[in-house]
């Protein structure tokens, strides 16, 4: 397997006051390039914590995290920020769009961290919006979009800088079934037709069915992996 994500012996502990809580206990996992993985588990199982470690938003207490061959658990805060800009596209449950910016400006945000010209940024943002089927909504602000449209804009923002990995945290958690299915179909298309590697946290078994692999977490341990039929 050509692993793009490799975790070895990863633990994560949080300290609250005098209490230390271990959320992840020695996780070992590999995710292959071009895979679409659904991380599943009950609340408090540590799936979002694990996703944050893979996405470089947090660092493990022990163990190593490597993405695209690079150890990210040893990077400083500023280097990790640059690394995220280059390698990770995030999709959040509540879209996390900037309310004062148009869809196109929102999508352009990651490109501000590149050396692209303003004209090229605009062009790429329009192309990303076209991929998610929202070319005609580029001038709309988030409050003028439906939930599904807003999440498509968020996906376009995650895609626009052509990241190594798409990291999605409950991307359909705020959507109705039909809209959720549309978003999941879009993610599946990005995975199958554009070769994007996707790691998605969900507690929805129907959403997980769109993934090629399902990894199950329980009480901070990886308890099993299933392959889609």
Beta partners for 221? 218
Place of tokens 């893979």: 54
- What are the tokens at 154? 């968020």
202 binds another protein (CB under 8 A): no
Kindly indicate which of the ranges 39-47, 51-59, 60-68, 196-204 contains the residues binding another protein, using the contact rule CB under 8 A. 51-59
Q: Answer for the pair 185, 111: CB distance below 8 angstroms, yes or no.
A: no
Joined together, the tokens standing for residue 136 give 């005609």
Determine if residue 185 is left, alpha or beta; phi over 0 gives left, psi from -120 to 50 gives alpha, anything else beta.
alpha
In the complex, the smallest distance separating the C-beta of residue 2 from another protein, rounded to whole angstroms, is 25
| 57-86 positions binding another protein, by CB under 8 A | 57-58, 77-78, 81-82, 84-86
Query: Which string of DSSP letters, residue by residue, matches 62-82?
Result: EEEEEETTEE-TT--HHHHHH
Q: How far is the CB of 109 from another protein (least distance, A)?
A: 6
Does 101 bind another protein (CB under 8 A)? Our answer is yes
Would you call 28 helix, strand, or coil by DSSP? strand
Instruction: Give the binding range for another protein (CB under 8 A) out of 16-24, 26-34, 96-104, 130-138.
Output: 96-104
Question: Which residues, 21 to 50, sit near another protein by CB under 8 A?
Answer: 48-49
Q: Which residues bind another protein (CB under 8 A)?
A: 48-49, 52, 55, 57-58, 77-78, 81-82, 84-86, 90, 92-94, 96, 98-101, 109-110, 112-113, 157, 169
């Amino acid at each position: 397997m050509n692993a793009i994500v490799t975790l070895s012996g990863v633990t994560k502990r949080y300290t609250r006051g005098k209490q230390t809580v271990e959320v992840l206990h020695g996780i070992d996992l590999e995710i292959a390039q071009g895979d679409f993985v659904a991380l599943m588990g009950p609340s408090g199982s540590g799936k979002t914590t694990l996703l944050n470690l893979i996405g470089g938003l947090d660092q493990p207490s022990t163990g190593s995290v490597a993405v695209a061959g690079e150890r990210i658990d040893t990077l400083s805060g500023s280097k990790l920020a640059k690394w995220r800009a280059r390698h990770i596209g995030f999709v959040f449950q509540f879209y996390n769009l900037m309310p004062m910016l148009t869809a196109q400006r929102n999508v352009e945000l990651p490109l501000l961290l590149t050396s692209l010209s303003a004209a090229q940024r605009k062009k790429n943002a329009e192309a990303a919006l076209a991929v998610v089927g929202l070319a005609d909504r580029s001038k709309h602000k988030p409050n003028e979009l439906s939930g599904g449209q807003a999440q498509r804009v968020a996906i376009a923002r995650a895609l626009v800088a052509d990241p190594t990995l798409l990291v999605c945290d409950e991307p359909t958690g705020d959507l109705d079934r039909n809209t959720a299915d549309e978003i999941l179909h879009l993610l599946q298309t990005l995975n199958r037709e554009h070769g994007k590697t996707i790691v998605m946290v969900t507690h929805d078994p129907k959403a997980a069915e769109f993934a090629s692999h399902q990894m199950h977490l329980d009480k901070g341990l990886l308890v099993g992996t299933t392959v889609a039929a």
